[in-house]
Structure 1
């Protein structure tokens, strides 16, 4: 499978943010490569370089509707003294049998059509009379080119230099060039290039499948009626959206009641479609912290290091965390706290890098910047905890949004950055440079 054994520590050990993240990234492995058809590979990461088998374009072709001619035949052409050329035929895109252009001759040519032998340049139709000059004419019309065949005469009013309006063979990429390198994420432009060079499938790390579920008997699904003591389940929606944003195929299971057997059964049922499981809620030490109760003893005795390790981290929000593996394939599982801001921040710090690692990416972290803090008063932070505050970043400055409470979802919706306050800092004054993690 895609995991190694996570580290363990004593129950009283206070993990740093970096220790916990390092343990996750040292444990999770990229998913095994598979061959996928192009559209199925969108969003996936290439595992090998792709070499161009045939030059693009594969032949010299016209970038304009016009006439393929010899340079000498249109040299000195002007409105007063146009060059009169014999039109001996035409060539359309996809045509294989090509007429040769001799002295004093022209071949009508369409955009994308191969440059016929003997021709040295293309004169746009706008520089001509459209084939309405003196002499017998068929298939021509003023201001453009008709789809029918053409013979007769064309008047050219401007000269054209060698290979004007000609797309040269291999001017995009040449046979043998590297089109895409291993590690590239396949978006629409990359899919387009692969199709253009004739590749119908590629070898990639597949997008990881992430199962998200929240816990709590008090949770109600949106659109349902709230009763006394109930709240809407926002975490499973938030984290499923986060997983998709990270590049995963995400499945939202929804809320599971506070029953250990039910939770274990639900997770076991979901393992068939999971490369990573993310739970939210129930990881503390309360009487109803069902995730901790359900998963503390799921390890395989024959597999040292399997099971879920529940930890305390020196961070705010998000002190209680769980990490390990579950099931016969040792599927990695991240157990995040249940408060909405805590779960979101924890996902960004730990689950998102895990997903990006499963994808086979090397740069798995959100970008960070040093910016200036703007606020009405000093920010305070608990000593010994790394705090992550919501902020609004723009033009080199960040403004705190909302307070430090881990339930403030409305403030989170206004934030586009996390303000990082280090463990050894208890107060940050306005005007101070701070580190921010940019979201999105």
Structure 2
């Protein structure tokens, strides 16, 4: 394990970003959660059970796959895919949910709430709750419910209650708002299983703790396969949990370039994208400080992305710190580039990626094309595209694809 990259941020800040900007009634709840997290996470019994479930339930380690055909198509560096799409439930989200469910059980919580955009976190939460016999309520924007019908059905099949959110844009930001309201009102018996590396302290650190297995595995696997570290690691960034999971164990390896791909959507104007690190500025959202998208004034902007899981106006505080410190770079892939990557990976490798992950594929291919053939790019394939096939089919039928 890369020790320095896993140092505890006990003050809840990453440079100037993070913190816990919450009302008093939530402050005490988060303080109790933080104390429990730091007390429980290193207990031998907890670590052993988590390792067992990762291996025998989630199916880890996920493979690191050399994408030979994609590499030949692109030209340039070798492209490896970290196959988090092969995890149980089809995405990286299950890593965090299993960890948080174990923590909730240790804390004696039986009612679990969550928010979801693309539905993968909702499915993973419902899965963990079914496994541990917990009540599960998932808040989901009405817009996302319509474009992610399959995942909504999966959540219900697993025993979860899906509560539609109609406020605001009826997408991920609004689902987070409703989940936080519920948490404040029912904190005594409720555990909020936040799905990304966002929110007030200790959530960004907690999510990174359980998602860092992605980078730990990838680091070990590439050394075994190639005898050296990659030149680039690439992941899509919405809130940023899959990305921080890949990035964290490589942060201290200065020879490794870190690249996050945000959703460029339809353009660079407010409301046309969901890329706060590219088009936003520092601000406060959902109880923490990070880069945030604003309109022409100081109102949080509407957002757009073809990928529901990236449709969020903020980003994890550690990504904000990595940007400002210069350790990581962030750029965008627009809707069309993500769709092109979605089809190309499907056709060349027989792997249908999630639309979120397709943004990383698009960005990773651009980088690989500029490098030499003896160089290496690892792209985090954070989820599979089963959930997006209906949406893509509709775009085809309506003539909205180039």
Considering the TM-score relative to the shorter chain, is it more than 0.5? no
The answer to which structure, 1 or 2, has the higher relative contact order (CA under 8 A, 6+ apart) is 2
* TM-score (normalizing by structure 1): 0.25
Quick check: which one's helix share is greater?
2
